[in-house]
Amino acid sequence: MTVEETELPGVLLITPKSFGDSRGYFLESYHEARYREAGIECGFVQDNVSHSGPGVLRGLHFQVPNGQAKLIQVLSGEILDVAVDIRFGSPYFGKWVGRILSDQNHAQLFIPAGFAHGFAVLGDHATVAYKCSVLYEAAGDSTILWNDPEIGIEWPVQSPVLSAKDQAGLTLAQYPVERLPKYES
């Protein structure tokens, strides 16, 4: 597998080796020891799968307290996957990074705890699988407005299909500091 640093320290683009032939392909989507060697030292305790149709945008989601690190991959379709550093005090606070993940490139994005996460479907559907380092807690579930102008994410969809929760998200500036993860250098 190859591991590439992104513009945000800690957010990694991972491309597992894929072995293909006339039958299709095989790849190892996760191997704890190899991922640990790559610097991903959190244990994963929950796996989730979401399926979305055309124009769907999910996010920007995070959990406080008990932030979740996530390892995202696409099983079918294509997405723009986005991470935003929301750790109060971080030199990268409010900065974002995005990568195309698809069933063709097999790329994965590792997003550490302390980052908000979202994605937009680029085709007619996407099935996304992701590992989480901490169990989901409804009481800590939080949403930053997907089109927060201060973050300035360049989403590939103009009028996305959003959940009520995502439509009602707050801008990063509206979140009280005590409701944001803290940067630990």
Q: Which domains does the chain have, with CATH numbers?
A: 2-175 (2.60.120.10)
Of 31, 51, 130, 183, catalytic? 130
pTM of the predicted model as reported, rounded to 2 decimal places? 0.96
Write down the pLDDT at residue 76: 98
pLDDT in the model for residue 94: 98
Residue 61 designated active-site? yes
Report the 3 state secondary structure along the chain.
CEEEECCCCCCEEEECCEEEECCEEEECCCCHHHHHHCCCCCCCCEEEEEEECCCEEEEEEEECCCCCCEEEEEEEEEEEEEEEECCECCCCCCCEEEEEEECCCCCEEEECCCEEEEEEEEEEEEEEEEEECCCCCHHHEEEECCCCCCCCCCCCCCCCECCHHHHCCECHHHCCHHHCCECCC
Confirm whether 31 is a catalytic residue: no
Mark the ranges of the chain whose per-residue pLDDT is less than 70.
none
Per-residue pLDDT, 5: 97
The active-site residue out of 35, 61, 92, 106 is 61
